[in-house]
Amino acid sequence: MAIQRVKSKWAKTKVLLLSEPLRERIPVTRRWQIPQLASMLDEHGMVYVKPDQGTFGLGVVRVERLSDTDYTYQSGTVLQRFSSFAMMASSLQERIGSRSYLIQQGIPLLTYEGLRFDIRVMVQQNPKKEWETTGIIGRLSHPKKIVTNYHSGGVIMSIDQLMHPHLSQPQTDSYKMWLSEIGTSVARQLQTRYPRMKEIGIDVAIDESFRPWILEVNTLPDPFIFRKLNDKSVFRRIHRYCLAYGRRLK
Ligand SMILES: Nc1ncnc2c1ncn2[C@@H]1O[C@H](COP(=O)(O)OP(=O)(O)O)[C@@H](O)[C@H]1O
Ligand SMILES: [Mg+2]
């Protein structure tokens, strides 16, 4: 039977929210609605608005409330300013049209040399049919963009390098173990609803207090980013597991 893929971020988020321990790792997420945008900006100051079924960072917008009368949003490399909530919201609504979008609490990402980064955690079913975290890698955003996706100009880097200014190497090593455990918990939770899933790629944000947040889970993760690591054994194992559960790589 075919490997299970799930496109809707909303559907996957709802399954994760059923897990008590995972709930605190998930930014507040709502379906797009202007009143929700108002209340989430009041609460969080910054939110991400994104397509429910998007990929590659396409259509993702970062919205900020600077004051009662001062709002901005950025999509791609263009930042727009507005002098009221209503003007900002109707401009966004026009962009979104009737498509299915989500609003998510914005996480202030940790930075490296002034650029934001986040983490991709690859979790696969191993040949013993157990969930195993097989790769953890960082993605540094393009300087002019609000997403870190490789396909939007993000640069793949090792988490060791990205965390170097923030944590000692032993601290980074235990942080990676923590991320590995979060990874397998996410996989097991999604498996309750999606039994034929074999692999996931979790986008994890780390905020300024080093708290990890699950931004989204991909069910068709790109294995090839792991070829960029110096440690070639990481990609080799990922590749081997892909072949074992029948994913054809091209
Ligand atoms: N809530 C958020 N807080 C901070 N950054 C975010 C948030 N949501 C998305 N991003 C940034 O945008 C990127 C793309 O968003 P994501 O939800 O992963 O959609 P896609 O399916 O297009 O990859 C993320 O990797 C991250 O860099
Ligand atoms: Mg993503």
- Confidence grade of residue 76 (pLDDT, cut at 50, 70, 90): very high
Please report, for the domain that includes residue 93, its CATH number.
3.30.1490
Of 152, 216, 222, best ligand 1 pocket probe by most atoms within 8 Å of the beta carbon: 216
> Encoding tokens for residue 141?
């955003």
HSE-CB at 178 with a 13 A cutoff on CA atoms is 15
Q: Which domain holds residue 59?
A: 29-105
55 close to ligand 1 (CB < 6 Angstrom): yes
64 close to ligand 1 (CB < 6 Angstrom): no
pLDDT of residue 248: 86
Residue 4 forms part of a structural domain: no
Q: Which residue puts its alpha carbon closest to atom 22 of ligand 1?
A: 57
Q: Do 113 and 100 fall within a single domain?
A: no
Query: How far is the centre of ligand 2, averaged over its atoms, from the C-alpha of 20 (Å)?
Result: 23
Q: Do 100 and 117 fall within a single domain?
A: no
Q: Do 100 and 138 fall within a single domain?
A: no
Boundary of a domain, candidates 105, 137, 172: 105
205 close to ligand 1 (CB < 6 Angstrom): yes
89-102 mean pLDDT: 97
pLDDT of residue 158: 97
Asked if pLDDT for residue 249 goes beyond 90, the answer is no
Q: Do 70 and 177 fall within a single domain?
A: no
Domain count within the chain: 2
Residue 16 forms part of a structural domain: no
Distance, in Å, from the CA atom of 246 to the CA atom of 229, rounded to the nearest integer, reads 24
Boundary of a domain, candidates 105, 137, 163: 105
Query: How far is the centre of ligand 1, averaged over its atoms, from the C-alpha of 8 (Å)?
Result: 14
Boundary of a domain, candidates 90, 105, 120: 105
Please report, for the domain that includes residue 197, its CATH number.
3.30.470.20
Can you tell me which atom of ligand 1 is nearest the CA of 148?
A: 27
Residue 56 forms part of a structural domain: yes
29 close to ligand 1 (CB < 6 Angstrom): no
Can you tell me which atom of ligand 1 is nearest the CA of 149?
A: 25
Amino acid letter for position 42: D
Q: Do 237 and 144 fall within a single domain?
A: yes
**248 Cβ partners below 8 Å, 6+ apart?**
none
139-147 mean pLDDT: 97
Q: What length does the chain have?
A: 250
Residue 10 forms part of a structural domain: no
Q: Do 52 and 126 fall within a single domain?
A: no
Residue 19 forms part of a structural domain: no
223 close to ligand 1 (CB < 6 Angstrom): no
CA-CA-CA-CA torsion for 35, 25, 115, 74, nearest 10 degrees?
Answer: -10
211-236 mean pLDDT: 97
pLDDT digits (tens, 9 = 90+) for 182-217: 999 999 999 999 999 999 999 999 999 999 999 999
Distance, in Å, from the CA atom of 181 to the CA atom of 88, rounded to the nearest integer, reads 40
DSSP per residue over 169-229, as a string?
Answer: HHHHHHHHHHHHHHHHHHHHHHHHH-TT--EEEEEEEEBTT--EEEEEEESS--SGGGGGS
Query: How far is the centre of ligand 2, averaged over its atoms, from the C-alpha of 112 (Å)?
Result: 19
